[in-house]
Each structure stands twice: as structure tokens, then as C-alpha cells.
């Protein structure tokens, strides 16, 4: 089966369903020819194959419903994985000192450094507020401000 032949329309016809009671995922696929008809595509654990309730599958032929489900499932898993990776990175940025909002803001930007995606440290430097990272000049300014007091003590 060539999954590259699956069209956007065929993917749109797929609905991922979770059967909580059976702890099972299956798909409803709308027929391309009859809008009132939906087929069920399920994974048969025993035979390790996808089954479809359409006529073609019933007579042992391949059908696009199963091809579409395989591709839909692949994209679903890829999206889930990307989501989990983004979540993990957000937590890392928070550990490095960004607030939750700053971390979200940082990840919503596509920041590149020399053609490479920016690393965590760079994101923290760009999206963290300057106030939490006192600059050299600020430290000097504070020292100057407190000097007269310490001089008066010495006198
Ligand atoms: Zn089918």
C-alpha cells in the first residue's frame, strides 16, 4: 500500500474514536460516494491487520479507508510527539529561569542563530526580562549609590 496516495479529502473523512470501555482506538471513515455511510476501521491485534467494514475489504480487496487511517494515525502520532517535545522544552526553559508565559512566548517564535534553531540558553537571554539579569552598569550604579553612606560611617 502506498500511503502517499492518500488525499486531504480522504484524511478529512477519518474520525479518530476512543472506546474508553475497551481501551481501544478505532476510526470512522465516511464513504466517498454515499454521505450517509461510514465504515469502521479497526486494528485486529490477533492478526495484526487493519479491518474495514466496507464491501471491498469484505471481498478481500484493498481500500482507501485503511490507507487513509494509517496516514491519519501517523500524522496524529507525529503531532502528539511534537506536542510532548514542546511541553518538555517549555519545562526546561522554566527551570532555566523563565516564567511560564515567557517560556510560551519564547517557543511561539522561531528564533534562529546562524541558521540553526536557537538553543535554550539563547531563548532565556532573549525572552527573560532584563531586570532579573542585572547588567554590569547597574551593579556599578548600585555601588556608587551606597558609597556615601558607608563613607559617613567611616567618618
Ligand atoms: Zn474500506
Longest alpha-carbon distance in the chain = 103
- Give me ligand 1 centre to Cα 41, in Å: 7
Q: Both 78 and 100 in a single domain?
A: no
Q: Both 7 and 75 in a single domain?
A: yes
CB atoms near residue 134 (< 10 Å): 11
H or E stretch covering 44: strand 38-44
Domain-terminating residue out of 59, 83, 107: 83
**SS3 call for 35:** coil
The C-alpha atoms of residue 25 and residue 18 are separated, in whole angstroms, by: 5
The answer to whether residue 91 is domain-embedded is no
Q: Both 22 and 69 in a single domain?
A: yes
Of residues 138 and 8, more confidence is placed in: 8
pLDDT, residue 139, reads 54
Q: Both 57 and 129 in a single domain?
A: no
Q: Both 100 and 70 in a single domain?
A: no
- Give me ligand 1 centre to Cα 51, in Å: 8
For 43-94, the pLDDT digits (tens) are 988 889 999 999 999 999 999 999 999 999 999 999 999 999 999 999 999 9
CB atoms near residue 39 (< 10 Å): 21
The answer to whether residue 11 is domain-embedded is yes
Number of domain units in the chain: 2
* Domain with 143 in it: 96-155
The answer to whether residue 73 is domain-embedded is yes
The percent of residues above 90 in pLDDT, for the chain, comes to: 59
- Give me ligand 1 centre to Cα 80, in Å: 26
- Give me ligand 1 centre to Cα 22, in Å: 22
- Predicted TM-score of the model (pTM): 0.68
- Give me ligand 1 centre to Cα 28, in Å: 10
**How many residues in total does the chain contain?**
155
Amino acid at each position: 500500500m502506498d500511503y502517499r496516495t492518500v488525499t486531504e479529502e480522504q484524511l478529512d473523512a477519518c474520525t479518530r474514536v476512543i472506546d474508553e470501555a475497551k481501551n481501544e482506538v478505532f476510526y470512522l471513515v465516511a464513504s466517498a460516494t454515499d454521505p450517509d455511510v461510514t465504515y469502521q476501521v479497526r486494528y485486529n491485534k490477533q492478526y495484526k491487520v487493519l479491518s474495514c467494514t466496507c464491501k471491498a475489504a469484505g471481498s478481500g480487496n484493498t481500500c482507501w479507508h485503511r490507507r487513509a487511517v494509517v496516514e491519519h494515525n501517523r500524522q496524529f502520532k507525529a503531532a502528539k510527539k511534537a506536542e510532548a517535545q514542546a511541553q518538555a522544552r517549555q519545562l526546561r526553559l522554566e527551570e532555566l529561569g523563565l516564567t511560564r508565559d515567557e517560556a510560551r512566548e519564547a517557543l511561539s517564535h522561531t528564533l534562529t542563530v546562524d541558521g540553526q534553531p536557537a538553543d535554550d540558553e539563547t531563548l532565556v537571554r532573549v525572552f527573560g526580562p532584563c531586570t532579573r539579569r542585572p547588567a554590569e552598569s547597574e551593579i556599578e550604579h548600585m555601588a556608587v549609590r551606597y558609597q556615601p553612606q558607608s563613607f559617613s560611617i567611616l567618618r
